[in-house]
């Protein structure tokens, strides 16, 4: 089963244009606990300073910036976070982690959110849909790395 987000870029700053309902029923406590458990991070440490977003080399291609992913994860907005392309676009470069003033390992949180999706057998990429030129020209190591990261 493919993951639900539209491939490619929806909007550079999707968060500025979307309205999100937050009430007692929208807060998914299980999502918060699972992300913290898998990542071994305390997401409440994030103070929303935005340093991660300002430092991220992939931010322009993300539906939600890293800061917003942290914010929405703190609010337990599972569907919004898992419906965005951000965790799949993240290159795990660790720039955000190195610069975070609160010591948050954001790449681990991105990884935890990816795992929660993949464990539901939802792939972020369908190998059968790849263009022939990509298959012919991409280095094998890159292909293997891609499938390990993006498929269940
Ligand atoms: S840099 Fe750290 S504290 Fe600042 S918004 Fe990002 S995760 Fe939160
Ligand atoms: S690890 Fe991911 S979120 Fe953090 S700076 Fe690198 S690409 Fe951006």
Ligand found nearest the CA of 99: 1
* Per-residue pLDDT tens digits for 63-111: 999 999 999 999 999 999 999 999 999 999 999 999 999 999 999 999 9
In a mutational test of the pocket of ligand 2, which residue from 81, 91, 94, 114 has the highest number of ligand atoms less than 8 Å from its CB? 91
3-state secondary structure of 23: coil
The per-residue pLDDT for 29 is 93
Domain boundaries, the chain: 14-150
Write the residue with the smallest CA distance to atom 3 of ligand 1.
46
CATH number for the segment(s) 14-150: 1.10.1060
Tell me the C-alpha distance between 88 and 26, whole Å.
Answer: 23
| Burial class of 64 by CB neighbour count within 10 A (0 to 12, 13 to 18, 19+) | buried
**CB-based contact 25:77 (threshold 8 Å):** no
Instruction: Identify which has the larger pLDDT, 12 or 79.
Output: 79
pTM of the predicted model as reported, rounded to 2 decimal places: 0.80
In DSSP terms, which residues pair with 2 in a beta bridge?
123
* Per-residue pLDDT tens digits for 14-64: 555 567 777 777 789 999 999 999 999 999 999 999 999 999 999 999 999
Ligand 1 center–CA 86 separation, angstroms: 15
Tell me the C-alpha distance between 15 and 17, whole Å.
Answer: 5
């Amino acid at each position: 089963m493919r993951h639900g987000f539209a491939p490619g870029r929806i909007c550079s700053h999707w968060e500025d244009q979307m309205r999100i309902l937050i009430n007692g029923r929208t807060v998914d406590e299980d999502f918060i606990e699972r992300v913290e458990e898998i990542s071994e991070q305390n997401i409440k440490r994030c103070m929303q300073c935005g340093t991660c977003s300002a430092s991220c080399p992939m931010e322009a291609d993300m539906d939600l910036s890293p800061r917003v992913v942290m914010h929405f994860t703190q609010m337990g907005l599972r569907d919004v976070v898992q419906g965005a392309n951000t965790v799949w676009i993240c290159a795990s470069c660790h720039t955000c982690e190195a610069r975070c003033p609160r010591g948050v390992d954001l790449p681990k949180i991105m990884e935890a959110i990816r795992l929660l999706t993949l464990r539901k057998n939802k792939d972020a990429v369908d190998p059968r849909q790849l263009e022939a030129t990509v298959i012919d020209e991409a280095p094998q190591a890159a292909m293997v790395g891609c499938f390990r990261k993006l498929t269940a």
